[in-house]
A and B are shown apart, each in its own frame.
Chain A
Amino acid sequence: MTEKQIRVLIAKPGLDGHDRGAKVIARALRDDGMEVIYTGLRQTPDMISEAALQEDVDVIGLSILSGAHNALIPQIIKKLKENGQDNVLVFLGGIIPEDDIQSMLDAGIYKVYGPGTDTRQVCKDIREAISVKQAE
């Protein structure tokens, strides 16, 4: 038997309509052997935490280009906690200003990725984070 399949939810919270980055990441994770649940554009924090609950994912990847991360991320993390899903790793990608990165990490984001990130690095980070979590 191979190792357990990693399940990832890819979602785009907020109102901006550019999902190319989310799709590129979804595709890269698929090619790395993960199962990617793609939910698409304009997801509310409720929708994201609900989908994560129903799909029992290990990882959530969020893409935000609109600048609304400071508003959205804490809400999403709060919802996940309320659902008893604080074991899920949350990654964030998109346009996140340098000054905001630390506050995102403090809010509970595992890692933040900007434009030009090598998708292989994302896959590697996810696998490492999961194996660390399993060892705990």
Chain B
Amino acid sequence: MSLSKAVREGSRIALSRVLSQVENNTAAGLRALDELFPYTGKAHKIGITGPPGSGKSTLVNALAKQLRQLENDPRVAIIAVDPTSPFSGGAILGDRVRMLDLQGDPDIFIRSMASRGALGGLATQTEALSQVFDAAGYDFILIETVGAGQSEVDIVNLAHTTIVVDVPGLGDDIQSIKAGILEIADILVVNKADRPGADQSLRYLKSMIDMGYRPLASSAGKHRLADSLPNSKPCDEDEQQSLWTPPVMKTVARESEGIETLVAEILKHQKFLKETGRWQLKEAWTLREIVRKRIEGSLVRDFFNQLPEGLLDETMGDVIARKVSPARAVENLLTYNRNRNQSPHLE
């Protein structure tokens, strides 16, 4: 029996092996994805992002427990991404420490992942791992990003529902996260709400929503989404009215406070996406992004593979000696490869 077949039949060890193959982008991993991809598209992918130490892992822990209480007995997968050291290439993946409650439940599967140099808050292969979980029949996939600052917003291209976690005390300094990360939220959570200043943070976030930055952000997002579907029409006034307004809520994840409400909002958002056709739009957008990213990755890899040995070093020598500008050096290398591709016999 092939590994991917075992994955679909519920073998957890096969699932774990395939996740590794896919994460390492091996030929076997690529084959597994080929076989699994037709069975994807069912799972609800939920992104959890926010600054380091805001309680994302603890929230994921509480959220997974609550989701498991739902009547249809959903299976829950968790992908927890932590940063790779830019110096050693190693990583400490510590999110499981906050998720000890979940062990022993065979319908929850937690996988830790190192970002391996990717900068958007996820690893390059995070989306591919979510495909494997999707095909394996997990109903919810919780994706926890690395601790995010301003621009780690890749999650929005992957998740159906993005939860942004904030904590009291960032209050007036909320500038540090507001531009990029708050506008990707479908649901805003003030975690650690038993701490002083929670109500103030809540008010601040609510007033930002009320101020109406959201319709702007959404319509920008919508145009991008609409572009990815051939037959979609540009959004009109009515559609603007029916936009989702992100709810703002308090939680104390460690005590599981506010988690029921959070799950209710997640399900409400799921219903909203499906009823308004945005679910399909998001899926189409996500797939387009994946293909675009993979093209970028492969082209860069091919480019370096095609360069003859030593040419890059030689060119860099010229650049470092300030004889050739970096921009010109790149043009020269690109031209070199292009000519070589057109007349390979000249080598």
Contacts and interface: CB of A to CB of B under 8 A. Distances in A.
Interface of A: 2, 4-5, 7, 26-27, 29-40, 46-47, 50-51, 53-56, 83-85
A37 B104 contact: no
A35 B13 contact: no
Contacts of B19: 56
B16 interface: yes
Nearest to B19: A56
A1 B263 CA distance: 42
Contacts of A29: 90
Interface stretch (B105-113, B161-169, B216-224): B105-113
Interface of B: 12-13, 16-17, 19-20, 24, 84-85, 87-94, 96-97, 100, 103-104, 109-112, 114, 116
A27 B91 CA distance: 9
Contact of B96 (A37, A53, A85): A37
B88 A31 contact: yes
Given A40-B97, A56-B19, A33 B90 contact: yes
Contacts of B87: 31
A50 B16 contact: no
Contact of B13 (A27, A40, A83): A83
Given A54-B110, A56-B17, A36 B96 contact: no
A30 B85 contact: yes
A35 B93 contact: yes
Given A31-B88, A33-B90, 15 more contacts: A26-B92, A30-B91, A31-B87, A32-B88, A32-B90, A37-B93, A37-B96, A38-B92, A38-B94, A39-B96, A40-B100, A54-B109, A55-B16, A55-B111, A55-B112
B104 A36 contact: no
B92 A36 contact: yes
Contacts of A2: 89
Contacts of B96: 37-40, 51
B88 to A, nearest CB: 5
A38 B97 contact: yes
B104 A50 contact: yes
Given A37-B112, A39-B97, A47-B103, A54 B90 contact: no
Contact of B90 (A35, A40, A46, A55): A35
Contacts of B13: 53, 83-85
A31 B112 contact: no
Nearest to A6: B90
A29 B89 CA distance: 11
B168 to A, nearest CB: 26
A2 B24 CA distance: 11
B95 to A, nearest CB: 9
Given A53-B13, A83-B13, A33 B88 contact: yes
A2 B84 CA distance: 15
Contact of B104 (A27, A40, A47, A84): A47
Contacts of B110: 51, 54
Contacts of A85: 13
B123 to A, nearest CB: 11
Given A30-B85, A38-B96, A39-B96, A54 B91 contact: no
A51 B89 CA distance: 22
A126 B205 CA distance: 49
Contacts of B94: 38
Contact of A53 (B12, B85, B114): B12
Contacts of B12: 53-54
Contacts of B88: 30-33
A52 to B, nearest CB: 9
Contacts of B90: 29-36
A50 B101 CA distance: 13
A83 B15 CA distance: 13
A116 B112 CA distance: 30
